[in-house]
Structure 1
């Protein structure tokens, strides 16, 4: 496998992880019959965002780097809030 193919796989992996967060959110909301954002949404956001940031740095795309970098700050901060202040009886993180 050549270097370009490897980086293409990294990019698609990152996009897949990032996109999976919407599937996780949708399934959790359907299960609870209300709109929820499960904890796994933030994990997928972080893992996908980090992977896409690495890919965008490799591609030297400043727009993509800025977008993913700023998004990661928000995802980490939201995960911090979820883990620091869990809601009693809220099982929205169970997706």
Structure 2
């Protein structure tokens, strides 16, 4: 997995399968902010969709595996990705516990309104 991918030689970069995993992880981890921006723009307020946490976890684990198993084996990269992976897993667990497993199906990630005393249904 540390051998150069020859057909990507035209890029001028030394690209290996582990680097592709690392690049993909970095793109996922960075791209989660675009997902958050779009969700917040649509909602008209700050929103963190569940996809944000999935992208955080997958991106963190992909870059973590690059730093652990590639020829790079960089302890700084390992430490840099351990904490975000743990935090994203915990945040996803809290989100599922608080809002339920299928919360995204209710429309823009919101729970249905709870009837109150003014609705006459309380």
TM-score, structure 2 as length reference: 0.68
Cα distance between partner residues in 2 of 1:56 and 1:13? 13
Matched length: 93
Q: Which has the higher helix share?
A: 1
The residue that corresponds to 1:63 in the other structure is 76
Structure 1 segments, 4+ long, off by >4 Å, are 87-90
The residue that corresponds to 2:85 in the other structure is 72
The runs of 5 or more residues in structure 2 that have no matched partner are 5-15, 111-122
The CA RMSD measured in Å over matched residues stands at 2.2
Q: How does 1:10-89 map to 2 (within 5 A)?
A: 10-57=21-68, 58=70, 59-86=72-99
The residue that corresponds to 2:109 in the other structure is 92
The runs of 5 or more residues in structure 1 that have no matched partner are none
Between Structure 1 and Structure 2, whose CA radius of gyration is higher? Answer: 2
Change over 3 Å in CA distance of 1:54–1:91 after alignment to 2:
same
TM-score, structure 1 as length reference: 0.86
